[in-house]
Amino acid sequence: MRTIPIPEGSPFGLANLPYGVFSTSGTAPRVGVRVGDSVVDLARALGDDVFARPTLNAFMAQGYERWGEVRRRITELVSGGGVPEDAVFAVDAVTLHLPIEVADYVDFYASEHHASNLGRLFRPDAEPLMPNWKHLPVGYHGRAGTVVLSGTGIVRPRGQRKGEGAPTFGESRRLDIEAEMGFIVGAGSPLGTPIGCADFGRHVFGAVLVNDWSARDIQAWEYVPLGPFLGKSFATSISAWVVPLPALEHARVPTPPQDPEPLPYLREASPWGLDIDLAVEWNGEVVSRPPYREMYWSPAQMLAHMTVNGASARTGDLYASGTISGPGPDQRGAFIELTWGGKEPIKVNGRERTFLEDGDEVVISATAPGPDGVRIGFGDVRGRVLPARD
């Protein structure tokens, strides 16, 4: 048995305990929990085979009470110095894997600042927000099969782009990011039974960082009338560590005022806005600090909306917030906004930049307030752009 050192001020202390899937050389992927700079092998530490799986899904499917029980047991083991020696690995010495098997992937559009900016850019002659925007969390389904782990190389997509008269075909020239938070459904719901806002915490297991890579030229040509498709479906990256919902208790804040008042099924008795600070690094330089607390719609409202028509939710459903943009010009979570459609380049490492070039790396990180002044860390979601393939 041993004690796990937790560096002073670590964003992965006892108040966090995020889950991931890891392997070591020659061993199968399995569930671990991150403590400081270590990973605890949960199948070994708790002697439960539900963690000897290549994703979190089997554990998540056990439900809310069980999540609480395991979190308490891990806290006891770690704080009591009772973790078996052979269950502890240095985080730098393990390989991380996609933590969940994604069931359905939905992407929302919950930032008023982002939706307004995109409206101005894509539809300059119309009102920036559509008439429905303040009445419901606008969202759409994305491609679950191309959700990839942080660190996966992002091959520049090819596709149709609007041309003079006829479209042209080729590699995207306006490759962009979207800095988002993602919420993972652990416990599903049967067909025909909506999940009310108040039941958010019983269904959602935790949160990850999301980079919803976007090819703006492909998107702008294809998206009418059925929405984004190939401009998004080539890759969506998520962070490796799933921060459990209870770790975000201290980050709970009200959403910004919602006016007009939402319909009853979208009203929340207790606030589930989240005070999460993101940072977007472009080739090592921070170019934006999107504040999650500015999001108009809360994660609980998104889930309530997604299921109000009776759609079932499943273990492994991932829904993302949409790009997080604050009111300030340096709080925008997509380059199309930061550079105003590419017309106002920003300086990155001394060079004027608009969209992504081959070889560029983007790293999105985030922390949230925890108890006693500590920060809860999400780690990061990163990706490097690889050249288009012939």
Q: If you compute the radius of gyration of the chain from its CA atoms, what whole number of angstroms results? A: 21
Site string for a second copy, 139-158 (x = CB under 8 A): xxxxxxxx-x------x-xx
Interaction mask 22-61, a second copy, x per CB under 8 A? ----------------------------------------
Near a second copy by CB under 8 A: residue from 43, 52, 103, 253: 103
Cα–Cα–Cα angle for 178, 230, 102, rounded to 5 degrees: 70
Cα 73 from chain centre: 27
Q: Which of 114, 135, 250, 305 is catalytic?
A: 114
User: Tokens standing for 334?
Assistant: 């997509």
Rounded least distance, CB 41 to a second copy, Å: 29
Which tokens in the block code for residue 197? Answer: 């806002």
41-76 exposure pattern, b = at least 16 Cβ within 10 A, e = fewer: bbbbbbeeebbebbbbbbbbbbbbeebeebbeebee
Complex with a second copy: residue 62 or 312, whichever CB lies closer: 312
Q: Does 113 bind a second copy (CB under 8 A)?
A: no
In 3-state terms, what secondary structure has residue 4? coil
Q: Tell me whether residue 318 or residue 346 sits nearer to a second copy (CB atom).
A: 318
- Which range, of 122-130, 343-351, 354-362, 377-385, touches a second copy by CB under 8 A? 122-130
State the minimum distance, in angstroms, from the CB of residue 359 to a second copy.
17
Q: Which is nearer to a second copy, 24 or 312 (CB)?
A: 312
Neighbouring C-alpha atoms within 13 Å toward the C-beta of 160: 11
Instruction: Indicate the SS3 state at residue 9.
Output: coil
Q: How near is the Cβ of 366 to a second copy at its closest, in Å?
A: 24
Phi, psi of 336 (to 5 degrees): -65, -30
Residues 201-230 that bind a second copy (CB under 8 A): 215, 218, 221-230
Which residues, other chains included, contact 254 with Cβ-Cβ below 8 Å and sequence gap of 6+? 271, 273
Q: Residue 37: how many CB atoms within 10 A of its CB?
A: 14
Distance from C-alpha of 30 to C-alpha of 8, rounded to nearest angstrom: 28
| 308 in contact with a second copy (CB under 8 A) | yes
Q: Is 135 a catalytic residue?
A: no
Task: Measure the CA–CA gap between 299 and 295, rounded to whole angstroms.
Answer: 9
Exactly one of 122, 202, 253, 277 binds a second copy (CB under 8 A); that residue is: 122
Q: Which phi and psi (to 5°) does residue 77 adopt?
A: -60, -45
Map 147-199 to HEC letters.
Answer: EEECCCCEECCEEEECCCCCCEEEECCCEECCEEEEEEECCCECCCCCCCHHH
Which CB atom, from 39 or from 266, has the smaller least distance to a second copy?
266
Question: Considering the rule CB under 8 A, would residue 310 count as an interface residue with a second copy?
Answer: yes
265 belongs to the binding site for a second copy (CB under 8 A): yes
Q: Is 389 in the site for a second copy (CB under 8 A)?
A: yes
* Range in contact with a second copy (rule: CB under 8 A) among 43-51, 52-60, 300-308, 353-361: 300-308
Instruction: Tell me how far, at minimum, the Cβ of 365 lies from a second copy, in Å.
Output: 24
**Minimum CB separation from a second copy for residue 245, in Å?**
21
- Per CB under 8 A, which region of 35-43, 302-310, 343-351, 353-361 contacts a second copy? 302-310
363/383 Cα distance (integer angstroms): 7
Smallest distance, a second copy to C-beta of residue 199, A = 16
74 binds a second copy per the rule CB under 8 A: no
Minimum distance from CB of 169 to a second copy (Å)? 5
Q: Looking at beta carbons only, is 237 or 339 nearer to a second copy?
A: 237
Instruction: Give rounded-to-5 percent helix, strand, coil for the chain.
Output: 25, 30, 45
The catalytic residues are 114
Report the interface residues with a second copy, using CB under 8 A.
103-105, 109, 119, 122-123, 130, 132, 135-136, 138-146, 148, 155, 157-160, 166-167, 169, 191-194, 215, 218, 221-231, 233-235, 260, 263-265, 305-306, 308-314, 317, 389
